Every structure is written in structure tokens, then in C-alpha cells.
Amino acid sequence: MFRILFLCTGNRCRSPIAEGFVRAHAASLPVEVSSAGLLDLGPAPALPEVMQAGMSVGLDVSAHRARPLADVTLEELDLIIGLERSHVAAAVVEKGAPYDKTFTLVELVRLLEIIESPEEADPDDRARAALKRAHDARAGADFVPGEDIQDPFGGPEKGYIKMATQVQSLTERLLVGLFGRPVAHG
């Protein structure tokens, strides 16, 4: 099983959307996906605006409940994906997440799309090889600004829909980059 954690600030907006899309599109893959937030907000549901934005793009996140990064055991994870660089930094510096397994979503998709695709037949092995190649490619790359998914919190409805649409596209590309085949829409 390939275990992915999405990480955002409160686990009530961006990371539940990313988790939901991966769960929906990776049903046929050996993937276990979860999400967490840097803040401990208790088991709060996704924001109402997030539920509405999710529904507008065919995703139901009404069952989601927030959980803090402090409650996550990182050793069991294969990949930690922050929605902003600050999420990656907090995971690595404050929680000890391995840097070679911790990326922003935009950064990882960009790297997966420039590396040579692994040829491993086993999906887990292929995803781990792709992740290693992405990390190796990151070592020689220059800093790329603008690789954060903007937090729409407090903004207009269109900001939440834009975020959900952006995350949907990126998570589909992520799964193709990791597992080498188009995702099945569920």
C-alpha cells in the first residue's frame, strides 16, 4: 500500500479536497490517502464553502473531519504533500518528516512530469521509484516561485471553486506521475 498524506493549515479546506479527489480517482490503485492540518481545530468538518465547492466539481467531503499533524505518525507514510511551502517546512522542521518524501503538490507534479517514468510493473514499486526520481530532480533545480495552492479562506465562492478545480487537475496528474496510467474517475 502506498500511503499519502495531504497537509494544509487547518485541514478544513485544501487538504480535504485533495484527499477526496485522490480517494475518488485511485480506487483501483494500492493507495491509502489521508489529510491533516498544522493547526489543531478538533474534529471540525470541512468549511461550508469547501463542501459547496466540492459538490460543484463532483466531490462530496461532508464526512471529512479535521485532524492535526501532531496526531499523525509519519513513519507509516510514503509521501507527504503540503499545499503550500510553509506546510512542507513545518512538516520537515517541526515534525521531522523526511525531506525526500515531502513536497508541495505543484512541485511534485512538475517534477513527476519532467523525470523519466519508472518501468516497475508493481504500482507501489513504481510510485516509490517515481518519488525518488522526483526528489533527485529537485536537488539540481532552481527555486520555482508560485508553487503554493492559494488558501481561499474568507474569500468569494469563486475562489473556493478555483482552488477545487486546480486541486482536481493536479491530483489527477499526480496519480498519473506516480502510477503511470490515467486515473479512473469514480
> Per-residue confidence at 140, pLDDT binned at 50, 70, 90?
confident
Q: How many CB atoms lie within 10 A of CB 114?
A: 11
* Structure confidence by residue, pLDDT tens digits, 48-79: 999 999 999 999 999 999 999 999 999 999 99
Which domains are seen in the chain, by residue range? 2-104+112-133+146-179 (3.40.50.2300)
Where does residue 92 rank: exposed (0-12), middle (13-18), buried (19+ CB within 10 A)? middle
Distance (Å, rounded) from C-alpha 51 to C-alpha 63?
A: 10
On the question of pLDDT at 141 being above 90, the answer is no
Q: Is this prediction's pTM over 0.85?
A: yes
**Is the pLDDT score of 181 beyond 70?**
no
User: Virtual CA dihedral for 83, 88, 89, 95, nearest 10 degrees?
Assistant: 130
Average pLDDT over residues 4-19: 98
Q: How high is the pLDDT of residue 93?
A: 96
Separation between Cα atoms, residue 113 and residue 178, nearest integer Å: 10
Query: Average per-residue pLDDT in the chain?
Result: 94
Nearest 5°: phi and psi at 85? -60, -35
Please compute the mean of the pLDDT values over residues 155-163 and round it to a whole number.
96
The counts of H helices and E strands in the chain are 6, 4
Q: Is the pLDDT of residue 186 over 60?
A: no
